[in-house]
């Protein structure tokens, strides 16, 4: 049974200014102050009935976050994490956010119910749109701030003698698994971490602690350098051979917003492994939960489908093992709570038809990845004694005109038709 009643217990507002790395921060500080355009917001934390929590922040977060090369450690959980008393003020009013910088928090969760249950920390929803002025040459889409956000999480049973070591292992781990791989979309209950909880598990009072970290990524696929501009666009590309690629990393993100609308704590009775299709659909009649899961049991895993994507297999982020779809899964000793579907966005071909409406043939085509944008430069069609009016989805209907920065969300090859007047 899953309780649907939610208690809105706390509102957290985090304002983050996105700054780029610079060889001389002092010399360019005035420019950054004038460019306070980007924000990151965390709004509600909601809970299901019977779940209580206490939110803490890592004191080492400071005003500007921390990075792994600063060698931040946790030597005493009770003093290195402090309770959030006033979320609208420090430590949540973050003055700037640089690539590679992290902010870590601890969410202590207690049970007001007896049954042993699985408690999940989820991202319920977020919003982040593509830019219409900053263009990523590599992805053929507008730059999106969500693509530069990483979100890490884990969960431990609270034990006063072990919690410091567990917190330290999370904070110092250079190989955390990113639970957030979305761009311009919304998400429903994307799990960050989970743990067992219940007043009868064990028999005495029990608490679990979720540690989670928000990071402005400094991975290579977010290293963008300016490669040109025109009247409407500033173009960015990734050059892995460019040693100073990180210098411009945050520049294309400075005008954008990312809102993590809600974090949610949910619970369900234990005894199941959930199949998280991550936006896909399981075959009709398939169950999203594997029941009575025990180490050594064999399960045949189905293959979900998702419009515009190819299914690559199921994976368990705890053990980092990829499992092919429609194959036998032998349950490991460390039983995961969730198996995640792994997807790859499909590539489609855009063809241009000017002949249908009397124009000259165009042989050019464009390859485009699903859920990105149409190319910034569409070909120009020609017809004698006529004016080219643009490209449309229908050869006759002029309702759906395609512009260079429009989102591409068609899960098949596409023909655009030239219209003339």
- pLDDT-derived band of residue 46, with 50, 70 and 90 as boundaries? confident
Q: What distances in angstroms separate CA 287 from CA 194, 223, 274, 328, one per listed residue?
A: 20, 41, 9, 16
317 and 397 together in one domain: no
pTM tops 0.75: no
The string of DSSP letters for 329-355 reads EEPPSS--SEEEEEEEE-EEEEEEE-T
91 and 223 together in one domain: yes
List pLDDT tens digits, range 60-74: 988 778 888 899 999
Q: What integer pLDDT is reported at residue 247 of this predicted model?
A: 45
Tokens of 10: 């706390």
170 and 281 together in one domain: no
Name the domain boundary from 296, 328, 345. Answer: 345
DSSP-derived letter for residue 66 is B
Residue % of the chain over a pLDDT of 70 = 70
In a domain, 264, yes or no: yes
Asked whether the predicted pLDDT for residue 76 surpasses 90, the reply is yes
240 and 328 together in one domain: no
In a domain, 26, yes or no: yes
64 and 107 together in one domain: yes
- pLDDT-derived band of residue 100, with 50, 70 and 90 as boundaries? confident
177 and 126 together in one domain: yes
Q: How big is the CA angle at 130 (ends 128 and 133), to the nearest 5 degrees?
A: 135
311 and 392 together in one domain: no
130 and 196 together in one domain: yes
In a domain, 155, yes or no: yes
How many domains does the structure of the chain reveal?
Answer: 3
Asked whether the predicted pLDDT for residue 169 surpasses 80, the reply is yes
> Alpha-carbon distance 100 to 21, whole Å?
10
DSSP-derived letter for residue 79 is H
14 and 130 together in one domain: yes
290 and 218 together in one domain: no
Task: Report whether 114 contacts 200 (CB < 8 A).
Answer: yes
- pLDDT-derived band of residue 19, with 50, 70 and 90 as boundaries? very low
Domain residues for 394?
347-420
In a domain, 285, yes or no: yes
Nearest Cα neighbor of 183 from 334, 35, 370 is 370
In a domain, 115, yes or no: yes
How many of the other CB atoms lie within 10 Å of CB of 284? Answer: 5
Q: What integer pLDDT is reported at residue 414 of this predicted model?
A: 92
In a domain, 126, yes or no: yes
Asked whether the predicted pLDDT for residue 114 surpasses 70, the reply is no
Q: Which of 250-259, 384-393, 404-413 has the lowest mean pLDDT?
A: 250-259
Nearest Cα neighbor of 218 from 59, 135, 97, 369 is 97
In a domain, 84, yes or no: yes
252 and 283 together in one domain: no
Q: What integer pLDDT is reported at residue 14 of this predicted model?
A: 33
Name the domain boundary from 225, 247, 269. Answer: 269
In the beta sheet, which residues pair with residue 341? Answer: 314
43 and 105 together in one domain: yes
Name the domain boundary from 269, 292, 319. Answer: 269
Task: Report whether 6 contacts 48 (CB < 8 A).
Answer: yes
CATH code: domain of residue 352? 2.60.40.4270
List pLDDT tens digits, range 326-365: 567 877 766 677 888 888 899 999 999 999 999 999 998 9
In a domain, 1, yes or no: no
Q: What integer pLDDT is reported at residue 320 of this predicted model?
A: 55
Residue 73's φ and ψ, nearest 5 degrees, are -130, 165
Q: What integer pLDDT is reported at residue 333 of this predicted model?
A: 67
């Amino acid at each position: 049974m899953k309780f649907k009643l939610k208690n809105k217990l706390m509102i957290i507002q985090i304002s983050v200014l996105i700054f780029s790395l610079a060889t001389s921060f002092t010399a360019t500080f005035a420019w950054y102050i004038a460019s306070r355009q980007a924000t990151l917001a965390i709004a509600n934390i909601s809970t299901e009935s019977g779940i209580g929590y206490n939110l803490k922040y890592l004191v080492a977060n400071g005003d500007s976050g921390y990075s792994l090369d600063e060698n931040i450690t946790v030597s005493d959980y009770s003093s290195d994490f402090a309770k959030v008393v006033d979320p609208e003020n420090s430590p949540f009013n973050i003055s700037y956010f640089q690539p590679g910088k992290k902010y870590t928090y601890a969410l202590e969760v207690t049970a007001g119910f007896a049954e042993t249950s699985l408690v999940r920390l989820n991202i319920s929803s977020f919003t982040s749109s593509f830019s219409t002025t900053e263009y990523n040459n590599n992805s053929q889409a507008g730059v999106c701030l969500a693509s530069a956000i990483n979100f890490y999480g884990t969960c431990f049973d609270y034990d006063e003698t072990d919690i410091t070591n567990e917190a330290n292992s999370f904070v110092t781990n250079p190989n955390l698994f990113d639970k957030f791989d979305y761009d311009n979309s919304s998400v429903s209950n994307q799990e960050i971490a989970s743990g067992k909880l219940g007043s009868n598990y064990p028999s005495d009072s029990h608490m679990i602690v979720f540690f989670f970290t928000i990071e402005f990524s400094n991975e290579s696929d977010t290293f963008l350098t300016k490669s040109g501009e025109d009247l409407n666009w500033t173009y960015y590309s990734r050059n892995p051979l460019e040693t100073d690629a990180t210098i411009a990393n945050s520049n294309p993100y400075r005008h954008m917003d990312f809102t993590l609308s809600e974090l949610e704590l949910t619970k369900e009775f234990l005894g199941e492994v959930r199949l998280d299709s991550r936006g896909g659909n399981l075959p009709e009649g398939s169950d999203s939960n594997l029941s009575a899961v025990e180490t050594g049991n064999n399960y045949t895993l189905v293959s979900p489908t998702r419009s515009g994507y190819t299914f690559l297999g199921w994976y368990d982020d705890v053990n980092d093992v990829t499992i092919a779809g429609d194959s036998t899964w032998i349950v490991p000793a460390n039983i995961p709570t969730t198996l995640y579907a792994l997807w790859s966005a499909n590539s489609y071909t855009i063809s241009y038809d000017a002949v249908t409406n009397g124009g000259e043939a165009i042989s050019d085509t464009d390859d485009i990845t699903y859920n990105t944008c149409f190319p910034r430069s569409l070909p120009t069609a020609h017809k004698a004694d006529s004016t080219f009016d643009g490209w449309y989805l229908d050869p006759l209907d002029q309702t759906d005109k395609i512009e260079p920065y429009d989102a591409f969300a068609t899960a098949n090859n596409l023909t655009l038709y030239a219209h003339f007047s």
